[in-house]
Structure 1
Amino acid sequence: MLIPSKLSRPARLENTVVRDRLLEKLSTAGNYRLALVTSPAGYGKTTLVSQWAAEKDHLGWYSLDEGDNQPERFATYLISALQQATHNHCASSELMAQKRQYASLSSLFSQLFIELEQWQKPVYLVIDDYHLIANPLIHEAMRFFLRHQPENMTLVILSRNLPQLGIANLRVREQLLEISSQQLAFTHQEAKQFFDGRLDTPIEQTESSQFCDDVAGWATALQLIALAARQSSNSPYQSARRLSGINAGHLNDYLVDEVLDNVDSNTRQFLLKSALLSSMNDALIVRVTGEENGQMRLEELERQGLFLQRMDGSGEWFRYHPLFGNFLRQRCQWELAIELPAIHRAAAESWMAQGFPGEAIHHAMAAGDTAMLRDILLHHSWLLFNNSELPLLEESIKALPWETLLERPKLVLLQAWLMQSQHRYGEVNTLLARAEQEMNAPLDDTLRAEFNALRAQVAINNGEQEEAERLANLALDVLPLSSFHSRIVATSVQGEVLHCKGELTASLAVMQQAEQMARHSDIWHYALWSLIQQSEILFAQGFLQAAWETQETGFRLIHEHHLEQLPLHEFLLRIRAQLLWAWSRLDEAECCARQGMDVLAGFQPQQQLQCLALVIQCSLARGQLDNARSHLNRLENLLGSGPWHSDWVSNANKVRVIYWQMTGDKNAAANWLRLTPRPASADNHFLQGQWRNIARAQILLGDYQPAEIILEELNENAQRLQLRSDLNRNMLLLNQLYWQSDRKSDAQRVLIDALELANRTGFISHFVIEGEAMAQQLRQLLQLNTLPEIDQHRAQRILREINQHHRHKFAHFDEGFVARLLNHPHVPELIRTSPLTQREWQVLGLIYSGYSNDQIAGELDVAATTIKTHIRNLYQKLGVAHRQDAVQHAQNLLKMMGYGV
């Protein structure tokens, strides 16, 4: 629940000086990205901008306090302010902010900008007191905001210091409007107008000008002079002399003498007590100060000029000027030390009565009232948890004695879920075990079951399948239907366990059940998680089209419930990329992988490991080895940064081993094999992948016998568990083993089986990645003309893909091949007498692979005109006139060298 006063424009005060010269400057703000008003406290920043904003319809106002350093809170208020400015036009962004469904502030702002561009009217956002922001994540997000905000938007920032927003660049590009303390300082004319509106007896122009000069036009000092003149026997001259040269850091003595000591005792008490509230209304004032007419008291203080500011047009909410409020709070700590806990307790009770548990928690902690804090958490912690108020919950849990947590085990469970939500899995079991050991009374059955559901989630995260299954079953045997969150967690864990065991059909049914439970309870992230798991299962079973359709359901769920910025969105994009890669839709696959990396941009870089592996996989499928190598460097750095799930390790190792295969790097493969532990089994598709990596490395090293043993066992397990996609992959690797060990008939038999199975899986890139060796075998099969029609079409498609991406990378027309060719007894005499240069051989190989002139130029990184010269020269040396003749000539040379083209 948002505090209305933080989103309200300050109301215009009576007798406020209208500063036409500055308002005229601000009238051009719509021409700039940023209007920046900076000065020390008390120069009238807020008053000036509120005057300018008074007549603006499409303007949002956001007043900051120290609590806004939490990014989620900052985002929620900022977008709510823009909702006011645009009359609720940014509904999708607001919902994402409220549900915390975004990976970073930048990603949330990207969605916001889409809606703001559709608004198509000038819109302004004022952020007051930006100097209170110290969180670098917010500074970084606001720099992004300024770089990408729509042209129809102007951001107005009020700050005591120069904000860390990269404003130098805006200044150079003339996109910055600046108003500094020098410009905000009152002129002589404005000072005269100011005193005329506040003093019963007018003063001369020369006197007001002197006062203005004495305090360098500081508005707060002028206000103090006027206040002292009304409330004490001191003359304005004495006040001016005392304030001459003073700054905001040395006001305490003056404020004691000239303000607190000059009000009656009741008013003094009222000021000190009410200052503990960051903002206040009638109900809060009545409860905290004991005054019966809080609203009237506030309005009276406002008339007296005691630095009270209205925060909204209705006049319901007020706050003290920051300088005066800080001063009063410091004095309250000293003068009312004994009463302070009771005042904070009253504030907490009043905030709770108005439905603001977060504000109440701050006061309960300040009061040191652990019983009150405990009760607030027991009744409202899950509301705050679901609103991502995690730092506040962490702080409040730490403020409670351990004995209090033991008396209320639900608070122990809350603390454990806080750890789980921050991936501090190792701490969860330690905490729960300690709590159970030290509790005076045993847990009731329901709470123990909720403990077990959480423990089951931790266990499956750690790869402890048997323990996760045991705990999930224990939880579901006891949990009542009303404990829907824990029941969904435990059911989902059951599905994951079955998935890991390779019991895919059973796992699919459980995940479908978990999805329905989550949808029924509106827990959308668990519904999405269940859909992702279903898609992975269907993929493993070889039902790729069904997996695609399940993914489509997941994408619809994300769109309907604004889940775009959840990390789970990256997971869905990643498995969509895997499917697109399998079907050789490489551009789309890479796009999905990169979108997944964008979703995780606000998280630790390690989280991007899986999508990065997919980007590399796309490069490898295209034969772009240099590009793959540059990404592999980053992937290998990430691999060394921490422990990973077996699936993550397997996918990362897969692209490394394939790269070593393509580049013939046997040393890297041998080193990896020596250091890589062997999985205990191959009973699921996660472990099958790592065993395949081991077999591929062994084939590269010529260790065919151990690789064959591995692959035969993998096939047995894949057939038993109906892991059809893994079976298809295993066949292709077994084909390479037979081919390289010169068992050509076995290789052909396995390849035919793999092509037949691919009719179900739709695999293309898994064949393409094997390169020239695969191409030679497919050509032979096509020449035999014995394949069924559907298999023949697939073989032709795969061959076209290899021709486009891979053939020139492998056996033909490199230096070694050319050397052997020139020494062949049947080489044409024309080639002996007029040999091609190495670059011309490369060009011939690319022509044979189906590359256009422009593609050849791009591949060799030379100008197109240079390629034309090379082609003209090689045509002349070969005695051919056309591209097709050159292709035929190259094909004849390859046949002569023993390649079945």
Structure 2
Amino acid sequence: MLDHANLFIVPLDEERCWYRYHHLFGDLLRQRLRQTQAEQLKELHDKASEWYKQNGLIDQAIEHALKSKDFDQAAYLIQSQIDVLWQRGEHGKLRRWVQALPEDLLLTEPQLGIIHAYYLHTIGEYTSAEQLLQRIEWILDPHGNGDEVIPSLECKHLLEIDRLKLTGRLSLIRALIYSFDGNVKGIIKQANRALEYLPEQDLTWRNLSGFALGDAHSYLGDMAASYDARFTTLRACEAEGNIFYIILAALKLATTLREQGELYRTRDLCNDQVRLAEKNNLAEINMVGCIRTILGEVLAEFNDLERAIQHARQGVKIAEGGQNLVFLSMSYLYLMRVLFSKKDLEGAKEVFDKVLRLERDMTIPIWLSSQMATWQVKFWLLQEDLKAVSNWADKRGILVCGDQHTHESIDHLSMIDHIVYARVLFAQDRMEETIQLLRHLYKTAERSGRISRSIEIKMLQALAYQSTGQTEQAMESFEHVLNLAEPKGFIRIFVDEGQPMASLLYEALKREITPEYVQRLLAAFPVTEPEGVTSTKSQVDQSGLIEPLSEREIEVLQFIAKGLTNQEISNKLFLSMHTIKTHTRNIYSKLGAHHRAEAVAKARAFGIL
């Protein structure tokens, strides 16, 4: 009767053999118990934990053991679930359980301590993570380090095979921690040590070594080796059938592909992983959020800005719901770039300030610190605060005219610093130094296979030559970069440079250098819509023209700049094709242009668009 009246109890099965209290009634009973018989709470939690364990409901058994503060029982049960949860990527649950255990238990049960150290490093507490790993290492091998022995905590209950496996896992976690501060030698040493100790059947942990080695190659600037390590790891995860780590391996591979300038492959890989995550109910985990922001950034480079901002914002929202500093930081950086391309500088600055708050609250990875410095300098340059950027360069210790060895030894992180410093030199009109620095940087980027960086460097070099009147050198560099960028699909990297880039593109068009690609790039430049009503369009200063454009001709020209065909313009304006063609001929004649892209470029030069 209580069941049918929906009072107090809720059925758990269709046969109505199992019931639970309605959650409101359950809350009332628990409150009453705490008020009247609090001394029975521990006993009841102990009984509940044991009952759940006997019936194979281990998650509930752990929850009750933790509530009763029976930490030994909780630790025993958690260890029985570690590998299952780790393989499934259920880190939120495992993190919460391990954090609830006392520190001494994390040392006497090293497997739990190693897991806890991993979670400490994901939230930026690297020092605490390393200290915990050191203590566990002494416990696993109290005489191996020769520094400190903790005999009271020696794990004598461990079999030798388990001790070796835990040593391998500890080494792997340390390799991942070293990835945060760019300690390449440490990464390689610890990752290889992990592979030496981990048993062959411990596939998930062995595959994680591939993540660390991919990071090491990336820091060294060897993108081909980084790609090989990350691609091999992805295939190994696929062979194991572990969906969580397939997605994680794909995320790592996507960052390498993006650095190699493989925009189409990056886009396709990210789309595949989003679909895979949705199919397996993993769409809301933070690394999938990060993948969405990578996808958004690539779409922004393709100039698909509306879809880009949609994916990037959705990705950040997901990443903010997790507890992984790396995924959250990466997501913020990719969103910043999308906002920057949309000319939403205020929005980009807001995201930048969020990352600054993260930096104040915890230790951040070295690569994030470098990327943040780059964005800070970009904002200073926009504000024309050259004093601030000069102080930044002095603090970073950047050399411009050092010897050949200095430039050849530029690694990935210092390359990012040097590229942004080249922009500083450009802004200070120190063109000779700018060109010299860019020449060295291009050699390094080309040698390491960083195509995206190579394109940016060569493009800046062309702009620097142009600003000094060295047109032939500018066009030689520019032709090279256009040939490099066209098959990859780059657009916004050019457009975001503004009017100086439009002038270079116009000159390239005159010389018939990759004309179709150049016209696509020119068409991507934003049309500056004049404020006010339509009638103000004809009030643009056209004094440089032999004959000013009419209001209707400006309107047609704006549609041409947006890439519309004559038929599309005809439909928009409800005019005949003949009339549109007449307006177009008049526009060409008045601007001295021979085709659409040239007309758009000249109109922008005159300030009409």
* Partner in structure 2 of residue 454 of structure 1: 173
* Letter of the 1:713 counterpart: H
Match of 1:672 among 379, 385, 389: 389
Query: Greater helix percent: which structure?
Result: 2
Kept after mapping to 1: 8 A contact 2:211/2:252: no
* Partner in structure 2 of residue 185 of structure 1: none
Distance 1:737 1:884 in 2: 36
Match of 2:317 among 598, 602, 607: 598
Q: CA deviation at 1:655?
A: 6.2
The question of 1:637 aligning with 2:338 is answered no
CA distance 1:418–1:599, shift in 2 (3 Å): closer
Distance 2:518 2:64 in 1: 72
- What's the CA shift string for 1:364-384, capped at 9, x where partnerless? 456665543443333245556
The question of 1:11 aligning with 2:6 is answered no
* Letter of the 1:430 counterpart: Q
The question of 1:801 aligning with 2:524 is answered yes
Match of 1:739 among 443, 461, 466: 466
CA distance 1:331–1:737, shift in 2 (3 Å): same
Unpaired runs of 5+ residues, structure 2, are 139-147, 400-406, 532-539, 563-572, 574-581, 594-598
Q: CA deviation at 1:808?
A: 9.3
CA distance 1:851–1:654, shift in 2 (3 Å): farther
Kept after mapping to 2: 8 A contact 1:847/1:883: no
CA distance 1:540–1:405, shift in 2 (3 Å): closer
Kept after mapping to 2: 8 A contact 1:848/1:886: no
* Partner in structure 1 of residue 239 of structure 2: 520
Question: Residue 530 of structure 1 aligns to a residue in which SS?
Answer: helix
Match of 1:612 among 335, 347, 353: 335
CA distance 1:423–1:353, shift in 2 (3 Å): farther
CA distance 1:358–1:738, shift in 2 (3 Å): same
Q: CA deviation at 1:568?
A: 1.6
Distance 1:723 1:779 in 2: 27
Question: Residue 763 of structure 1 aligns to a residue in which SS?
Answer: coil
Q: CA deviation at 1:717?
A: 0.4
* Partner in structure 2 of residue 162 of structure 1: none
* Partner in structure 2 of residue 314 of structure 1: 17
- What's the CA shift string for 1:653-688, capped at 9, x where partnerless? 666666776x6x422x44134225257977565553
Kept after mapping to 1: 8 A contact 2:556/2:584: no
- What's the CA shift string for 1:461-502, capped at 9, x where partnerless? 233222122111111112112322321222211112112212
* Partner in structure 1 of residue 216 of structure 2: 497
Q: CA deviation at 1:738?
A: 0.7
- What's the CA shift string for 1:143-171, capped at 9, x where partnerless? xxxxxxxxxxxxxxxxxxxxxxxxxxxxx
Q: CA deviation at 1:723?
A: 2.1
Distance 1:730 1:854 in 2: 28
Q: CA deviation at 1:392?
A: 5.1
Kept after mapping to 1: 8 A contact 2:545/2:590: no
Question: Residue 358 of structure 2 aligns to a residue in which SS?
Answer: coil
* Partner in structure 2 of residue 589 of structure 1: 308
Match of 1:540 among 249, 259, 263: 259
Distance 2:347 2:315 in 1: 16
Distance 1:396 1:895 in 2: 67
Match of 1:430 among 128, 131, 140: 131
* Letter of the 1:635 counterpart: V
Kept after mapping to 2: 8 A contact 1:544/1:579: yes
* Partner in structure 2 of residue 792 of structure 1: 515
Does 771-780 or 675-684 show the bigger shift? 675-684
Kept after mapping to 2: 8 A contact 1:495/1:511: yes
- What's the CA shift string for 1:703-741, capped at 9, x where partnerless? 212322221111110221122222121111001111112
CA distance 1:357–1:707, shift in 2 (3 Å): same
What's the TM-score, normalizing by structure 2? 0.74
Distance 1:367 1:845 in 2: 80
Q: CA deviation at 1:11?
A: 2.5
* Partner in structure 2 of residue 193 of structure 1: none
Which runs of structure 2 are paired with 1:141-156 in the superposition (5 Å)?
none
Kept after mapping to 2: 8 A contact 1:519/1:527: yes
The question of 1:565 aligning with 2:284 is answered yes
Distance 1:848 1:326 in 2: 72
Distance 1:853 1:784 in 2: 22
Which runs of structure 2 are paired with 1:306-385 in the superposition (5 Å)?
313-314=16-17, 326-327=31-32, 332-333=37-38, 345-361=46-62, 363-364=64-65, 369-383=70-84
* Partner in structure 2 of residue 714 of structure 1: 441
What's the TM-score, normalizing by structure 1? 0.52
Kept after mapping to 2: 8 A contact 1:582/1:766: yes
Kept after mapping to 1: 8 A contact 2:300/2:341: yes
- What's the CA shift string for 1:586-634, capped at 9, x where partnerless? 33333322332332353588675223313323314xxxxxxx2321331
CA distance 1:431–1:657, shift in 2 (3 Å): closer
Question: Residue 446 of structure 2 aligns to a residue in which SS?
Answer: helix
Kept after mapping to 2: 8 A contact 1:650/1:686: yes
Distance 1:593 1:610 in 2: 10
Distance 2:112 2:426 in 1: 56
Distance 1:846 1:656 in 2: 42
Kept after mapping to 1: 8 A contact 2:370/2:417: yes
Distance 1:393 1:512 in 2: 33
- What's the CA shift string for 1:100-148, capped at 9, x where partnerless? xxxxxxxxxxxxxxxxxxxxxxxxxxxxxxxxxxxxxxxxxxxxxxxxx
Distance 1:793 1:716 in 2: 28
Distance 2:68 2:349 in 1: 54
Question: Residue 600 of structure 1 aligns to a residue in which SS?
Answer: helix
Distance 1:895 1:361 in 2: 72
* Partner in structure 1 of residue 499 of structure 2: 772
* Partner in structure 2 of residue 128 of structure 1: none
CA distance 1:646–1:706, shift in 2 (3 Å): farther
Q: CA deviation at 1:693?
A: 1.8
Distance 1:603 1:371 in 2: 28
Length, aligned pairs only: 537
CA distance 1:536–1:850, shift in 2 (3 Å): farther
Q: CA deviation at 1:451?
A: 0.7
Does 406-415 or 844-853 show the bigger shift? 844-853
CA distance 1:756–1:897, shift in 2 (3 Å): closer
Which runs of structure 2 are paired with 1:70-219 in the superposition (5 Å)?
none
The question of 1:759 aligning with 2:483 is answered no
Q: CA deviation at 1:415?
A: 2.8
Unpaired runs of 5+ residues, structure 1, are 1-8, 13-17, 19-45, 51-60, 63-80, 88-311, 621-627, 810-816, 832-840, 856-867, 869-880
Q: CA deviation at 1:457?
A: 1.1
Distance 2:45 2:604 in 1: 90
Question: Residue 558 of structure 2 aligns to a residue in which SS?
Answer: coil
Question: Residue 851 of structure 1 aligns to a residue in which SS?
Answer: helix
CA distance 1:747–1:392, shift in 2 (3 Å): closer
Kept after mapping to 1: 8 A contact 2:71/2:101: no
Distance 1:509 1:541 in 2: 13
* Letter of the 1:426 counterpart: T
* Letter of the 1:616 counterpart: L
Distance 2:193 2:223 in 1: 22
Which runs of structure 2 are paired with 1:57-68 in the superposition (5 Å)?
none
* Letter of the 1:479 counterpart: L
Aligned-residue CA RMSD (Å): 4.5
Distance 2:552 2:182 in 1: 49
Kept after mapping to 1: 8 A contact 2:462/2:474: yes
Distance 1:709 1:564 in 2: 47
Distance 1:778 1:327 in 2: 77
Which of the two has higher C-alpha Rg?
Answer: 1
CA distance 1:671–1:11, shift in 2 (3 Å): same
Task: State the identity %.
Answer: 18
Distance 1:850 1:607 in 2: 40
Distance 1:896 1:503 in 2: 44
